[in-house]
Structures are given as structure tokens and as C-alpha cells.
Amino acid sequence: MPEALRLKGQGASPGSARGPAHVMAPEDGHALGVRANGSDAARLVAAVERAVEDLRALAGRSDLESAAILEFQIEMLRDPALLEPSLERIQRGAEAGTAWAATMDAYVASFEEAEDEHIRARGADMRDIRQQVLRALHGERPPDFPKGAILVGRDIAPSLFLSHDWSQGGAIALFGGSVASHVATLARSRGVPMVVGVPRADIETGMELVVDGDEGTVEDGRAVPPSAAAVQGASAMPASMGGSAVTPDEVPLRTADGVRLTVQANIDHPSELRHLSPAGLDGIGLFRTEYLMGSAADLADEERQVEVYADMLAWAGGRPVTIRLLDFGADKPPPGEAVDPSSFLGLRGIRLLLARPDVLRTQVRALLRAAPAGQLRVLLPMVTAPSELEQTRTVFAEEAARLAARGVPHAMPPLGLMVEVPAAALMPEAFDAAFFSFGTNDLAQYLSASARDNAAVSPLYAAAHVAVLRFLAMTVPVVAATGRPVGICGDLAGDPGALPALLACGLRDFSMAPRRMTLARAALSRLNADGSEARG
């Protein structure tokens, strides 16, 4: 019997899944074998229009985050600069499909040769656009694959991800791909396990695989006992794939020796709330508002922001909702702006917002207006110096005064600190914050001096795990000594292996992705408040 397959790549979306492999056929483009004729230019223009119509229809069935990604593709297709080179090739005698494929291959190559990983990741969008127009030229239907399957291939198109039904599970294992791609973003928000950069191997359709997005592994199902995979899969299963992530009888949660703990949800998009019961949560510990912003127009749309925030507060039914101010910069550039590779250490988070007061003030007004709808708390990202908190508090006070002068109902929410810069963690007494929340994803990045989305240094980021826990053991008690509430909202909060150390630090408030709650709650209930395993 041959040795069971075990491949190591890079985890792009956490969680695990078991299922039959579906190996995608290489893209051939159907660019050859058709004779050119006088109608090729008109055929290509019509095919582009059909592709745009199909994308618009798919966007209309998608949530705001997904629709924003599809709008990027629509804008690219609408750009005359994308079509003109193909029309020039047709004038020189090329067939429509051949001309389009040649043009798009050049665009894909230009993206994939870029030094910046985020720019390279857009190559998947360009390949997607290439294939959509070629399918429209040939009257072909978009591809799909069986529900619950493990998709294996070089890469996956955003449109294929969005059109597929993930309700019965499944996962993605790519020989190429990127943690910075649009599909990786979508997979994380929907709880679909994904591993990229997997070494090429002899995988056949139908072969049972187990994908672990936390460890970045793809294994032959024969090497992983079904019971173990089932337990892993339970932690990865998103709410949209089988009911609520938690049930009401799981609240409140206590340690084995009776200490009360709170478990809240990290939310990337309001659409996730459809699959959660507020009665099963202690609240929303982190709402990442930047994922609402698909365009520059969204940044200026105060009324839309008010509606989204108020709806979330109403959904929570009086439970606390912690909304983070826009955390743009580094791997999340503002809509329509290019990635700045230096911005992990430059303008990002609150630094960027204070430098862009128009964007900050719009969001502040929306939060003030929505606050009467529930128990709102506001979290400031990437704070380093006390002056940043004070400047932000001044903006809140000024906008509240303007709303009062206009007779607009509003309320002032408490302002808290996202503790992700080591300097802030070491001097919490300098900040007049209402509460503190440790963001361990960026904290690990800054402690290890390695970008968390850069595949070249990702082993260093992972190696910082022990250092992060040691740093928390030093700083959480210092923060707690301020007398203000302190919690954790990074990925470590939902890692069962880290929970004993986090309890030992003194943490009692945990906020995590909904898909991680079941295993995390079970692990916490078996531990004493000092992190030790309960006996008996």
C-alpha cells in the first residue's frame, strides 16, 4: 500500500473538512480552433456585455462584501483599455477568442509578476474575467463541482466560489493561490477551510481528503481517523452550513470551578447574523466595519452606516455590541486605493483615520446616531499613543455637539482600545480608555517582525506563538490593574490549545469567529479559572 499523502501548504482560511476531491481541469481557454470572420469584433463586445450581465446577476444574489469583489471585475470589464488590445488583434486577423485570451494572458502575467503579494493575488480575478468572456463567446455554462467536495486545482475564480453551494461543507486546496486573494477573504468570512501553496501531487477526483486550514495541510483521508476529522470539522463548520453556531442553553458559560466567562462573536459582515441566535451569545465582541466598504461612495454614505449599526444593535437585544472603527491600511487598503507595502508600520488603523478626518467624522456621526438602539461600544484600532485616543474622543465630542445643535437623537458610546501595538500593552495606565481588547493577530505580527500575510515569512509569524502567550502573561495583569474591562478578540481566543494559558493570564472575556465557539466553549468548561484541567 503506497504511503498516505500528506501535503503542507499555507492556511488561508481556518477550519477543517473531509470530503471527496474534485480536481479541476486546467484552463484551456478554447482560444484556438475557430476561424476568424468579419463579425469577431461584434462577437467579443457582445460576450463582454454578457459577462457583465452575469456578474451583475451574481452580485445581486450576494452579500455586500461579495458584491464589492464582483464590482471590481465589472469595472475591469467596463474599462475600454481592457478591450482595445483585443480589438486591435482582431483587426490584424485574429479570431475573437484568440485575441481576448492573448490580451488577458498578458494582463494576468503583469499582475502575477508584481512584487507585492496583494497585487499578485488580483491575477486570480483577471483569470476569472478571461474565462467568463471566453465562456460567453462559446455559449458555455459556468463550471461547478459537487457539494461537499474538496476543490483541488491551481486557483479558484471568485465567481466560482460565490456561485457554488457551500451548505454541505467542502474545502479548497490550491497548488497556487494566495492568502491575500479575494477568494481567501471570502473563504474566511464564510468558514470554508482553505489551504494555498500546496505542493503538486498525484490527486485524483474522488480521492478522500482532509483539509486543515489552521495547520495548512492536505491529507489522504486514510491517514486521518474519521472520528478525528469529524471533531475537527465541527470546529470549522460555519453557521451557514448547518444551523446556529451556538445554542441558547450554552449561555452563561462557567469554568469547571464556577467562574463566569463571556463568549462573544467576531463578525466580518452583517450577513453572518442571519445564522446566529443572539440568545446563544454574550454579545458581539468585534464588528470589523471595513468590510462594509466596497467603494469610495460607501465611505461617505452616513445613512447606510447608521442603518447597519442600528440593525446590529437591535438584533443583539440589549447585549453589548463592540464596533471597531475602520481599520484600513496594510492588507486592507481603502476602497479604490493601491496597497502600500510599508503601511503595516505606517498609516493604518486610527493613524489613517486621523489623517483622513472626513472618513472618520462620517463614521463617528453614524455611530453616535445608532447608539440609542442598543448597548454600543466603540473600539479604536492600532492605537500607539494616548494622544490618538484623546484626538478621537475630541472628534466624538464635536460631532455629538453638532448633532445636538440640529436636534438629532444620539448617544455617546464608551471608547475602548484594541491592544495590538506592544507599546500600548506596556503602558495601559496612560490611556483613559473605557475598556481594552487584545488583538493577537497583529500583536503576533509586531512581536515577530513578520507580516502575517506574507508566505515568505509566515513560519516566523507562527513561531511567535509562544512569545505572544508569554507577552500576554506579562501584560494582561498590567491592563487589568487599571480597573477597566479587558478581553481578547484575536484568533488565539478561539484556539483550544491556547485557552489554558489565556485563562491563567486572567482573561475572562473571549471573542471569536462563530465557527470556533463550540470547541472553545467545551474546552473552557473543562478548565479551572487558573487554566488547569479540572479533575474528575
Note if 22 is an active site residue.
no
- 311 and 179 in one domain? no
Q: Which of 147-151, 153-157, 513-517 has the highest mean pLDDT?
A: 147-151
Query: Mean pLDDT over residues 85-108, rounded?
Result: 88
Find the catalytic residue in 164, 410, 489, 505.
489
The pLDDT tens digits of the residues spanning 252-289 come to 899 999 999 999 999 987 877 877 888 889 999 999 99
According to DSSP, residue 181 is labeled S
Q: For residues 259 and 118, state if they share a domain.
A: no
Q: What is the pLDDT of residue 213?
A: 86
Rounded mean pLDDT of 376-392? 98
Q: What mean pLDDT do residues 150-155 have?
A: 92
Q: Is residue 126 located within the same domain as residue 45?
A: yes
Is the same domain home to 97 and 60? yes
> pLDDT of 19-36, one tens digit each?
999 998 776 444 444 555
pLDDT in tens, 241-250: 333 344 434 5
Judge whether residue 120 has pLDDT over 90. no
The candidate with the shortest Cα–Cα distance to 184, out of 107, 118, 237, 110, is 118
Can you read off the three cell numbers belonging to residue 126? 483577471
pLDDT digits (tens, 9 = 90+) for 405-454: 999 999 999 999 999 999 999 999 999 999 999 999 889 889 988 876 56
Choose between 151 and 233: higher pLDDT: 151
80 found inside a domain: yes
Domain with residue 410: its CATH number is 3.20.20.60
Domain range holding 174?
Answer: 6-24+143-222
- Once rounded to an integer, what is the mean pLDDT over residues 292-312? 89
Handedness of CA 434, 437, 438, 439 (dihedral sign): negative
Tell me if 523 sits within 8 A of 499, measured CB to CB.
yes
Dump pLDDT digits (tens) for 66-78.
777 788 788 888 8
Instruction: List the CATH number of the domain containing 131.
Output: 1.10.274.10
Q: Indicate whether 290 and 404 sit together in one domain.
A: yes
What pLDDT score does 207 carry?
Answer: 92
Q: Which of 112, 138, 164 is the last residue of a domain?
A: 138
Percent above pLDDT 90 for the chain? 44
Domain tally for the chain? Answer: 3
pLDDT, mean of residues 44-57: 90
Q: Is 289 within a domain?
A: yes
Domain end, chosen from 111, 138, 165, is at 138
Question: Is 465 known to be catalytic?
Answer: no
| Same domain for 265 and 174 | no
The pTM of the full predicted model, rounded to 2 decimals, is 0.65
Residues 22, 164, 182, 410: which is the catalytic one?
182
Whether residue 428 is contained in a domain is answered as yes
**Omega before 193 cis (within 30°)?**
no
> N- to C-terminal Cα distance for the chain?
42
Residue for grid cell 503595516: 344
Residue 242 lies in a domain: no
Q: What is the mean pLDDT of residues 472-498?
A: 93
Question: pLDDT value at position 366?
Answer: 98
- The CATH number linked to 154 is 3.50.30.10
Convert the pLDDT of each residue in 189-238 to its tens digit: 777 899 998 998 889 999 999 998 877 889 988 877 664 333 333 333 44
**Are residues 156 and 131 located together in one domain of the fold?**
no
Cα–Cα distance for residue pair 404/388, rounded to 1 Å: 24
